[in-house]
Amino acid sequence: MDLVEVTEGGTRFFVSRQDPALPFPPANSPVFYNPRMELNRDATVLLLTVLRPRDYLDAMGASGARGLRVAGEVGIPVTINDRSERAVDLIRHNVEMSGLEIEVTCQDANVLMSGRRFDAVDLDPFGTPAPFVDSAVRSAGNYLFVTATDTAPLCGAHLPAGMRRYFSRPRNTEYHAEVGLRTLLGFVVREVIRYDRGVEPLFCYAHEHFHRLHLRIRNGAAAADRTLARIGYVMQCPTCLYRTEETGMLPAPADCPLCGAGLVAVGPLWTGRINDDQTLAAMQETLPSVKAGTVPRLSRLVSTCRQELDTSSHYDYHVVARSLRVSPASIESVIERLRSLGYRASRAHYSGTALKTDAPLPVLQEVISGG
C-alpha cells in the first residue's frame, strides 16, 4: 500500500495515497480517509477534552485517524476497531509509529459492541449508521456519538431509503438540513428508549455532507419517558410557507390556518433542543488550548449553535422574500426587528439564509416586506 503522512491537530499518521483526479478520491482508496471530515474530528477531540469519559471506542476506525487523535490529544484509553484486515494493518502501523498505547481490534462492529461496554462509543460509518445503532446503544455507558453521511435519505430527497433506514417520512423542504439532523436523532432516540434509557443532546449539528450527534445517555425509565416526550412532527403546509410542530407518537390531522390546505406530517423526528449550552460554553472556553486545523470554523459553529433557537424548522430568508416579491433588508436587520417586536429570532448553524423564529408567519412576512 502506498502511504502518505498527514497531520491533523497535534497528531501525525499515515493514510493510503489518493488519486485527486477521481470524483471522490477517498472511496477509491484501499483504506478510507476523508480529509473533509477534519472539522468533524476536531469537534470530537474538543468535546472529549471537556467530557473526559473513562474510555472510548472508535468502532469503524479505517485509517485510525479519529481514535489516534483522541488517544494522543485527549489522553484517554482508546480502542480502535475495523472489520477490514487491511485497515487494521494500517491502524497498527499508525499506532506503532505514534508510540501510543491503543487497543486495536479486527471485528465486525456489531459483534464487538454486542459483547463489550465502553464509556463512549463513536459510530462514523461510510453512509448510514442505522445497522449499527442498536448494538452501539447497548455498548455505550454514558456517551454515544453518531455520524451519518447519507444526507439525501435523511433529508427526504431519497424518500424510500429514508423510510427504510430511519422509519420516518422526511420531506425535502427548504429546511431539509434541520429535518435530516432531527430525523437521525429521532431514530437514535427510538433505539435508546427501548432499553429504558434516555438521551440528552450535547452537541448536534449538520455540516456540508454529514450530520453529527454527540449524546449523553441517561439510565432509567423516567429518563426514557422524558426522551420519548420529545418525539414529534413538523406539520408543513404543502401550498404555502406555514409550518408548526407538535409532539406525540402520531400526528393529528390539521389544516393550515392561513390557506386551508391539509398539513403534511414530517417525521417522526426529535423536537426540542439539540445542544446543551453548558457543554458548548465549556467547549468555547477550552478551544484556545486545543490544536486543530479548523479552529476558526469550529469556533463559528459552536458560537452559532449557542445562539440558535431550538425550533425544529427554519424559514429560508430568500424563499420568504421571493414569495413576497420584495428585496428585503439584511437578515441581521430582520432578526433585530423581530426581537424588537418581542419575538425570539436567530440564525441557524448550517445555512447563511436560515432564519429561526417563534414569530407567526404573517409577522415574519410583514417584517421581511418592510412593514
| Mean pLDDT of all residues in 318-338 | 94
DSSP per-residue string spanning 295-350: HHHHHHHHHHHHH----S--EEHHHHHHHHT-----HHHHHHHHHHTT--EEEETT
DSSP per-residue string spanning 35-48: GGGHHHHHHHHHHH
Q: What is the pLDDT of residues 115-173, one digit of tens each?
A: 999 999 999 998 999 999 999 999 999 999 999 999 999 999 999 999 999 999 999 99
Percentage of the chain with pLDDT > 70? Answer: 100
Contacts of 235 (CB under 8 A, 6+ apart): 243, 244, 245, 246, 251, 254, 263, 264, 265, 266
Q: What is the pLDDT of residues 74-125, one digit of tens each?
A: 999 999 999 999 999 999 999 999 999 999 999 999 999 999 999 999 999 9
